[in-house]
Amino acid sequence: MSLSLQSPSSTFLSSSSSSSSLAKSRLRFANVSSSSTLLFKFNRSFPVIRASSSSGFSSSLDTGLSTELDAVSSFSEIVPDTVIFDDFERFPPTAATVSSSLLLGILSLPDTIFRNAVDMALADSGCSGLDNPELRLSCFCNKALVNVGGDLAKLVPGRVSTEVDARLAYDTHGIIRRVHDLLKLYNEIDVPPQRLLFKIPSTWQGIEASRLLESEGIQTHLTFVYSFAQAAAAAQAGASVIQIFVGRVRDWARNHSGDPEIEAAIQRGEDPGLALVTKAYNYIHKYGHKSKLMAAAVRNKQDLFSLLGVDYIIAPLKVLQSLKESVTAPDEKYSYVRRLSPQSAATYNFTAEELTKWDQLSLASSMGPASVELLAAGLDGYVNQAKQVEELLDKIWPPPNV
């Protein structure tokens, strides 16, 4: 599977919040929260099925050996949850996400390669001519997102995902209008819709917006999925990408109780986050939905090994670096196993309740406290970031050269 533009399954995406520092001309956004930034995919060598861990990544280049990263990449698309803007040669980006988090990082460092895109947004006469301050700031934000997204589209061969304002999460028509507005702006800078995805929270209203947008041929990415009901409803809506946060579900389970879906997984001896990805994957593939599944908030190697076969895995840079530095050889004893596959999905059994045609009532009644609380927390984080961007733009508008 490839993330290239030519592949019909190509996608992007990850989640991390931006904390930045300027040193040796490097801008790095570290993985600390739920917002999305630019993604990289490591280049692969030929697929390796049998592999084992050892040290000395550099020696593998000399001996023809491969690495653990090569081995696992033969099962799933692996992308790191960190951005290094000036290190494209080492980590060539194939796709990207533009978000309020990314704009905050750009605004905090005036010398980034994307700062001109933000400044051009602030110089837009159509936005600056609006009398209503709220509408003017919203216009600036949309222009900034699209200008940065347009720059990213020139740097990556795959798709660029654009975050939709989380304050619209419970407004289906508001989400659709915003996506249409963003599409119009992208069209003005000659970025075709085939290069774009739109990141929408998985409220019922967001899922319904995804369904309507996908029916128009507009590609969507549903995020903040923390329950099977959300994942199944998103698949029925035809979302292009569905993102599940493995580690956050596990974290909730460690500190809370009372969620039937999580407790059922624990009683089966399963990790609730990994179990949710497995169940969602099996549902998508058993019933022929087009959606691609992304596992995010993967915390360690064991998480990654347990998810091999899922379409996309977002992992911390430290995990990927460990995989990259571990040499593997075809004749060694340890064999990687594809945990998720269409064949295994075909044998998975679902209850009649799980096979329902999801609507707003059934979704609300099936979402347990974990998904309700985690969804609310994710939305709060996105809303706060959007407000911070507006506050910063308001402080620096008009720019000195306008």
Strand, helix or coil for residue 241: strand
pLDDT in the model for residue 402? 52
Residue whose C-alpha is closest to residue 357's, from 240, 208, 235, 233 = 233
In angstroms, rounded to a whole number, what is the distance separating the alpha carbons of residues 272 and 357?
A: 24
**Helical packing angle, 369-396 and 246-255, nearest 10°:** 120
Strand partners, 305: none
**Helical packing angle, 204-215 and 172-188, nearest 10°:** 40
Q: How many CB atoms lie within 10 A of CB 101?
A: 28
Among 199, 318, 333, 387, which one carries the catalytic annotation? 199
**Is the Cβ–Cβ distance between 210 and 191 less than 8 Å?**
no
Helix H or strand E segment including 318: helix 317-325
User: HSE on the CB side for 222, CA within 13 Å?
Assistant: 31
- Alpha helix locations (H) across 48-171? 57-63, 68-73, 100-108, 115-122, 125-128, 133-155
Peptide bond preceding 110 in cis form (omega within 30 of 0): no
In angstroms, rounded to a whole number, what is the distance separating the alpha carbons of residues 355 and 176?
A: 27
In angstroms, rounded to a whole number, what is the distance separating the alpha carbons of residues 3 and 240?
A: 13
In angstroms, rounded to a whole number, what is the distance separating the alpha carbons of residues 380 and 390?
A: 15
In angstroms, rounded to a whole number, what is the distance separating the alpha carbons of residues 104 and 125?
A: 23
In angstroms, rounded to a whole number, what is the distance separating the alpha carbons of residues 325 and 13?
A: 24
In angstroms, rounded to a whole number, what is the distance separating the alpha carbons of residues 279 and 262?
A: 12
Considering only CA atoms, give the Rg of the chain.
21
In angstroms, rounded to a whole number, what is the distance separating the alpha carbons of residues 200 and 162?
A: 9
The superfamily (CATH) of domain 68-396 is Aldolase class I (3.20.20.70)
pLDDT in the model for residue 319? 87
**Total residue length of the chain:** 402
pLDDT in the model for residue 80? 65
**What is the separation of C-alpha 365 from the centre of its chain, rounded to a whole number of angstroms?**
26
Residues of the chain with pLDDT under 70: 1-65, 80-94, 329-335, 399-402
The verdict on whether 199 is a catalytic residue reads yes
Strands 22-23 and 77-80: unpaired
Q: How many CB atoms lie within 10 A of CB 320?
A: 26
pLDDT in the model for residue 32? 34
DSSP classification of residue 194: G
**Is the Cβ–Cβ distance between 40 and 33 less than 8 Å?**
no
Sign for the CA dihedral angle at 345, 350, 356, 362 comes to negative
**Is the Cβ–Cβ distance between 228 and 353 less than 8 Å?**
no
Residue whose C-alpha is closest to residue 232's, from 285, 293, 280, 172 = 280
In angstroms, rounded to a whole number, what is the distance separating the alpha carbons of residues 49 and 73?
A: 10
